[in-house]
Chains A and B, each alone.
Chain A
Amino acid sequence: MREYTTVRRRGFLKATGGGAAAVGLAGCLGGTDDDVTISARFMDAPGFEEFFEEHTQAFEEETGVEVEVELMGWSDAFSQQLTSITSQTGPDVEEIASSWLPQQVEANGWMDFQEIDNIDVSTDTYFEPPVDIAEYDGMIVGSPWYWGPRAHIQYEPMMEEAGLSGSPETWDELIEMGEQFNEENDDDDQYFFGLSTLQNAGSQFFSTMLWQNGGDLLSEDYSEPLFHHDEGVEAANFWKDLFYEHDVMESSTSEWGTDEAQSAFINQRMASTWGTLQFIFEYADQDGVSTEDFTANQLPAGPRGESAVFYGLELVGIHPWTDHPEESAEWVNYLARPEVNAELAETVSMLPAVEESFEHDTFQNPIFQSFRNEILPTGRTFPQFYGWGEIEDVLNTTMQQIITDAATDNWEPGDTEAQLQEAADQVQTIIDAADPELEAE
């Protein structure tokens, strides 16, 4: 199969070279190849239909290439992409979720952009961290598109009512503000802070707190887990104690996924959360609420470390089975134009991956500037490790268990250490079982 792949890629290189010349010539003559249509598939989001209608039309007018866009729900995306990759059929261009990237690359799901002449994925254009994620095992498999780091978001009218100002810079300050909020606020159903626990929140928020406390998930060479050390135990206990010890957060957060957390924030059950821009823009759609009512700041630091936050990234890649690689590359390049990338990021309420996009008027809003200047520099993401999916699952389950035990009064001293140790043992077996040849460099 590797031979088969190489042959295809060599063929593709030739096609790219010839294609680039053809496109250049056609450009001089004012047209391109006859009636080329490429297909592209993206995760659905509000406003995407209009966005793609406008831009596929503009792209076709410019290049003569028609793009058929298919939108799919997030819940179906994983299995739809899996089916396409398994059968090596499907759209030419497609969105990539960074957390699925290692397995999809190993399954020969994406082309290496280094073999395409007219795609440039460099740090001159993009922010550096997304470019790092786009690279896996020596290949560049996608063009960074948008990303969603979380900020400590506060709804200021609720904060003012409780006589609070500023944003917590440390874990201790977060607890102090939460306790002060409770003293000033008579409503038992309102809390200072809230986080979801279900879905992938377990791994994402635990990692965030672990990094904030100076810890790390795995060793640099991905040979052993590190999250069960003191930094990790303190991080997990900090999360648990937000409701178990300090009443800063309600214990029913243990049942919350992202939607429930967003809904609780919109319904003013909590004054602050760690959320993406979507939390603000969903909220700001409500009557009488504007984006000016919110502040977005760095997440607090733990006692042993500095502010840090997890972010996920969306990329755009080209599948190796495409018959129109050069046209697909043109479409990817079009989507990476600063003005298009800015419009896209605004549509999905995320941050543009192209640095110049931030110069557009939309992003002059203080909220966006906070994200760019304060939060982006603290962003980190999961290791690009082949067996990460399984490890992430272990972390999700472990943190859910700790939080659930605490929420149901079944937690006892020493449980956190024991659960994290058990998780670390499981992760070690996953690491040991991973084929060394498949590990990321």
Chain B
Amino acid sequence: MPADEKTRYAYKLLLPAAVMMAIVHFLPILWGMIISIMQIDATFVSRWYSAPFVGLENYARLLDFDSTVGSRFWFSLRQTTIFAIGTVVGSYSLGLASAVILDSDFRGSNVARILVLLPWISPAVVVLLVWRMMLLSDTGVVNNVLLSAGIIGEPIVWLIGANSIYSMILVNVWINFPWATIMLYAALKSIPGHLYEAARIDGAGRWGQFRHITLPQLKPISVVISLLLVLWSFINFTVPYVLLGQSPTRSGEVSMLFIYNYAFHNYAFGLGAAMSVVLFLFAMGIALVYYKYAVSGSFEGEGR
């Protein structure tokens, strides 16, 4: 088959998936961008086609930090960033530790590999509701264990107030670390044994091997894990919604939850779309910067 024909054939094969992607992903994004410059509120929600175009007015309201919606949106974006960073640090660290442990041969390692996946494969809503019960300050098992062990003297209020963001991070880490574990475990298995052998001959200890061989070899997969965890955290709706309920205290009000609550409760879909676009651009900006400085550098030289 000639090369051109092969290419055409490849495009034909890709066409159904591309059409599906356009319908499922790109059209909603485009639609969101369009309605973000329209005044779609209660008056126009049922006849959006006649809603007036307001240009960048919705964006201007978001940039007005003195307005309720502006100040709360930017605060929610700050909380989302904390949530994302906490999730990445926690999930990656725990995932790496578990992967290293699983990589060493010990009795029951096969069972451990399956067990470690449980948080990730369990239905998220069920897991979150159980965590919610466990984190209640008066009847929750977490406080009871910490009090019994003498680690704390007074019950900690987890789900409201300043701690709610940390509770969200804790639970999100618990849900996501198995995925990081599996990815890192697979990468660990692919590190050539002769690198460790050479290091041992050169007198490297276990820490030296880990620092100079394991970590550099894991860099490509690590940057991918971090990038995906950041993006997933930015668009995570389930964890804050189920764990903290529909009306979280400010500390737990991340952008996805704020946008949903604000837009739907107030029939403010134009403004809600503007907030979504800002969140989208913010997340994409982070991804691009990260890709430019971390991901691309990590894969340089591969395949040589």
Q: Do A404 and B66 form a contact, CB below 8 Å, given A78-B264, A254-B157, A389-B265?
A: no
Pair B249/A401 contact, Cβ less than 8 Å: yes
Docked-complex contact B265 and A107, CB < 8 angstroms: no
Q: List B217-253 residues whose CB lies under 8 Å from chain A.
A: 245-247, 249-250
CA A435 to CA B136, docked complex, whole Å: 42
Which residues of B, 46-69, contact A by the 8 Å Cβ criterion? Answer: 46-48, 50, 66-68
On whether the beta carbons of A397 and B43 are closer than 8 Å, the reply is no
Give chain A nearest CB distance to B291 CB in angstroms: 35
Contact at A108–B245, with CB atoms within 8 Å?
no
For residue A85, which residues in chain B have a CB less than 8 angstroms away from its CB? 45-46
- Complex formed: what's the CA distance from A239 to B44 in Å? 40
B47 near A1: Cβ-Cβ < 8 Å: yes
Q: Which residue of A lies closest to B244 (CB)?
A: A198
* B157 near A404: Cβ-Cβ < 8 Å: yes
**Cβ-Cβ contact count across A and B, 8 Å cutoff:** 106
B50: chain A residues at CB < 8 Å are: 1
Q: Among the interface residues B155, B160, B265, which one has the most CB atoms of the partner chain A within 10 A?
A: B160
Q: Is B79 interfacial (CB 8 A cutoff)? A: no
Q: Which residues of A contact B45 (CB under 8 A)?
A: 82, 85-86, 107
Q: Is the CB of B68 within 8 A of A390?
A: yes
Q: Is B266's CB within 8 Å of the partner chain A?
A: yes
CB B78 to nearest CB in A, in angstroms, measures 16
State the Cβ distance, B141 to closest chain A Cβ, in Å. 15
Point out the residues of chain A lying under 8 angstroms from B163, CB to CB: 408
Which B residues are CB-close (under 8 A) to A78? 264-265
Which of B136, B138, B262, B267 touches A250 (beta carbons < 8 Å)?
B138
Whether A252 pairs with B161 at a CB distance below 8 angstroms is: no
CB pair B46 A408 closer than 8 Å: no
- Give Cα A311 to B48, complex, Å: 34
Q: Which residues of B contact A252 (CB under 8 A)?
A: 136-138, 155, 157
| A255 lies within 8 A of B68 (CB) | no
Assess whether B46 is in contact with A108, with CB atoms less than 8 Å apart.
yes
Q: Which residue of B lies closest to A397 (CB)?
A: B250
Chief secondary structure at chain B's binding surface: loop
Distance in angstroms from A18 CB to nearest chain B CB is 27
Given contacts A79-B264, A106-B43, contact A430 B249 (CB under 8 A): no
A106 to B155, CA, bound (A): 47
Residue B22 lies at the interface, judged by CB distance under 8 Å to chain A? no
Find residues 137-195 in chain B having any chain A CB closer than 8 Å to their own CB.
137-138, 155, 157, 159-163
B45 CB, nearest partner CB in chain A, Å: 5
Bound Cα distance A79, B44 (Å): 17
Contact A106 B160 (CB under 8 A): no
Give the distance in Å from the alpha carbon of A255 to the alpha carbon of B138 in the complex.
Answer: 9
Q: Does A426 contact B (CB under 8 A)?
A: yes
Give bound CA distance, A430 to B64, whole Å.
Answer: 13
Of all chain B residues, the one with the shortest Cβ separation from A104 is B42
Q: Which of A67-90 contact B (CB under 8 A)?
A: 78-79, 82, 85-88
The number of residues on chain B lying at the interface, defined by a beta carbon within 8 Å of a beta carbon of chain A, is 32
Chain A contacts of B264 at CB under 8 A? 78-79, 82
**Which chain A residue has the least Cβ–Cβ distance from B70?**
A429
CA distance A78 to B266 in the complex (A): 11
CB of A393 within 8 A of chain B? yes
Q: Do residues B249 and A429 form an inter-chain contact, with CB atoms below 8 A? A: no
A435 contacts across to B, CB distance below 8 A:
43
Among B115-143, those with CB < 8 Å from A are: 136-138
Query: Across the interface, do A257 and B249 meet the contact criterion of CB distance under 8 Å?
Result: no
- Tell me whether A407 and B157 are in contact (CB under 8 A): yes
Q: For residue B145, give the distance in angstroms from its CB to the closest CB of chain A.
A: 17
Please give, as numbers and ranges, the residues of chain B lying within 8 Å of A198 by CB-CB distance: 160, 245, 247
Are A389 and B160 neighbours in the complex by a CB distance under 8 Å? no
Residues of the B chain whose Cβ atoms lie less than 8 Å from the Cβ of A16 = none
Verify B245–A410 contact, CB threshold 8 A.
no
By beta carbon, the residue of chain B nearest A199 is: B247
Interface residue B261 (Cβ < 8 Å from any Cβ of A)? yes
Chain A residues 52-111 with CB under 8 Å of chain B are 78-79, 82, 85-88, 102-104, 106-109
Whether A199 contacts B246 in the complex (CB less than 8 A), given A255-B159, A255-B160, comes out as yes
- How many whole Å from B186's CB to the nearest CB in chain A? 39
Within 8 A of B (CB), among A383-425: 386-387, 389-390, 393-394, 396-397, 400-401, 404-405, 407-408, 410
Chain A: minimal CB distance from B32 (Å): 15
Closest to A200 in B: B247
A393 with B261: CB separation less than 8 A: yes
Does A438 touch B at the CB level, under 8 Å?
yes
Residues of A within 8 A of B46 (CB): 85-88, 107-109
- Among A107, A200, A433, the residue within 8 A (CB) of B43 is A107
Residues of chain B with a CB closer than 8 A to A397's CB:
247, 249-250
For the complex, what is the distance from the CA of A198 to the CA of B161, rounded to whole Å?
Answer: 12
Interface membership of chain B positions 265-298, coded 1 if the CB is closer than 8 angstroms to chain A and 0 otherwise: 1110000000000000000000000000000000
CB distance from A236 to the nearest CB of B (A): 16
19 contacts between A and B (CB under 8 A): A78-B264, A79-B264, A82-B264, A85-B45, A85-B46, A106-B43, A107-B42, A107-B46, A109-B46, A252-B136, A255-B136, A255-B159, A393-B265, A400-B249, A401-B249, A408-B157, A408-B161, A429-B67, A430-B68
Q: What 10 A-B pairs are tightest by C-beta distance, nearest first?
A: A252-B138, A106-B42, A426-B68, A404-B161, A103-B42, A107-B42, A1-B47, A404-B160, A103-B267, A408-B161
Q: Which residues of A contact B (CB under 8 A)?
A: 1, 4, 78-79, 82, 85-88, 102-104, 106-109, 197-200, 202, 250, 252, 254-255, 257, 386-387, 389-390, 393-394, 396-397, 400-401, 404-405, 407-408, 410, 426, 429-430, 433, 435, 438
Extra 4 A-B pairs, beta carbons < 8 Å, given A85-B45, A404-B160: A107-B46, A108-B46, A255-B157, A397-B249
